[in-house]
Structure 1
Amino acid sequence: MVVALPQEVLEDIVDNLDSDIRALRTCALTCRALLPRSRKRLHSRFTIRFNTKTKERVKFYTEHPDLIDFVDTLEVYRPNGQNVTHILQNTTFPQVRTLILHELRMWSGVRGIVDSLRTTYSSITSLSLENISFDESNAWLAFVTSFRSLSSLTLRQVNETQRPTNLKATTGINLALLPISPSLQYLSVDCSSGVVALAEFMKQAKVSPPVRTLVINSTNRHNAHEMFLTLFKNTVTRISIAEKWGQFKDSDHALRECHQLREVAVGFQLRDGTVPWVENVLTSLNSPELRELRLKVTSSELLVHLRGKKSSKSLSQIDKALVGLLFRSPGELKVFIDIPVSHRRVASLSEVTTQMQKRFPKCMARGILNFRYF
């Protein structure tokens, strides 16, 4: 019965088991039709953690070189300089297109590691950095701009121990020689010091890749969000903004200039500081291309406000701002409120609908508001 299924259906089934190693191994042993896709998923990611299992897996690939080409994602997690250098020098994965680095805390101790990664995997298309520390801006910028084929860049808590006040005055850095990847289309950032330095560098160097999707996470300092929005105002079509404290002070002004937006997602907490910010964001959206807006509120806050245990003033303010957005939007606009799955356990679908009608009467009356679980 399995062999009678189309091959693309079998591949979709295997792809849905991507995070279940045991199931993938079972599929690989089931029949020949499942073996190629299962093997590809099993060996698609190689994680370096510098423990016994990592060394054993390196030895395994050395003994089975035919499997090396299946590895398309390399993840380096909290490296030890001597071990990782040895592994990188003796094992090369030519098909790697995604590079993920976690917790590189001492730049001086891992300089050889990063230089090796930058040289060996210069043709990667996706780079993700999380909890990284560099000693200064020129080291950080030289690293991120060395990958010339990037289409996706994700940055979380990228920090610098010595950040100059003026990038142009930084010793050894030439902005003209550090172009950001011209193929970059997806950018996900927070507002850590390294990200701010990148935004300032792009602004000063007057470089603006054709970023289509921009994701900005919560911040309580700096104004990198405004610089990124301004840099990509002519190309960005999808924006996702997550904010806890409502301190994207100038984002409303920058959003007004983004005239190509088709999809906007706003994540926030229902606090005194964030509601005016959400109103400003909704008021600033004037793209004639806008077709979808998603609002995401934390589960406990949304539940409390929907059930009336707190004042619903904040929700009524958002309701009013949404209706104003509807009148400004020339096309068909769909608005979604994302409700966490945990909400389903304490409220039936009919109860949620009833509460939505109470808290968002104007939107519900016009049929523009939808809600869905995630």
Structure 2
Amino acid sequence: MTDSSSASSLIIGGAASSPRAPLPTLPPLALYIHIPWCVRKCPYCDFNSHTASPVLPEQEYVDAMLADLDQDLHAVYGRELSSIFFGGGTPSLFSAEALGRLLEGVKQRIPFADDIEITLEANPGTFEQEKFVAYRKLGINRLSIGIQSFQQEKLKALGRIHNGDEAVRAAGMARQAGFDNFNLDLMHGLPDQSLDDALSDLRQAIELKPTHISWYQLTLEPNTVFWNQPPVLPEDDTLWDIQEAGQALLAEHGYAQYEVSAYAQPGRPARHNLNYWSFGDFIGIGAGAHGKLSHPDGRIVRTWKTRLPKDYLNPAKSFQAGEKALTNDEMPFEFLMNALRLTAGVESRLYPERTGLPLESLDEHRREAEQSGLLQVEPSRLAATERGQLFLNDLLQKFLS
């Protein structure tokens, strides 16, 4: 379904809403690049990922992504990219040659900021020292390594293709390849996981000295193997103990929690993800990629691309599967579902700057959330309380029209 409304005065619920003000400045612009193939689909994964064939269509896919980007250029003319993120799937299945051609093509179309952050997701089972040295030479300056656990029985339960030793070696290889900025992805609340198991994984990750750790609880998502054949997960009391002890351990070792599941050393938060959470703009290219772009007249449009790789590579089919202009009524929830994930929230002034709507339009919902103890009573910031962070969905419901 496509909603291509473009007027600054929108019809909502049968009545005209107040006009949205032109945006004083456009937010930072990022690029998300989706490479949808994996060696094997994990049973918990609900991302748009597909088991790779022995030979990947690298050249055809790069050509398609550049053609896809060409169709978005009119909406970002004159802007520069502050970050790029290769997600998947497993982007590290692609050769350095293919990624280099793609990055060069992107740079010819959109200027890069001098300090651009370029992140590549990688899995330990796909690490090759020579390949990662070549990635670093391309200008890729940050890795996000999908560890999930260092314990063999947990990795087997999660369907991962690597073992604990390979996970440890991957971090060392990343550093040897010249990556001084890398994230380790870890899960907790795994099948039959004890508190000691979870803390053992965290201690091993900390010992590898990454600049960033993403540490999040396993959830059972629809359309996954685990949803249809659920494993035995820890009891709620154990999950709570893991969360509290893990956060204390990370803080003890200098990893500050700045988002629901993100912990970083000083000055090392993921800039690409911070842009998402602060309602920045991003182009999405690749099968199933999503985008969000702001326009000077106040329009904010979300887009999504054709999901299946075979359709994305089919010249007879459109890259874009749909778009939707956000209405005034949708804006509070859309903005806050990102911003309130940040433990410190955002400055209140960011709401009118990024949405074109007056801050006062939040007043009624804001008072209700503050009275419920879910939102901090702080005029200069929009930030959840500790209780609000625990019950984020309840907090966001307060801002639904």
TM-score, normalising length from structure 2?
A: 0.32
Structure with higher Rg: it is 1
Which structure has more RCO (C-alpha within 8 Å, separation ≥ 6)? 2
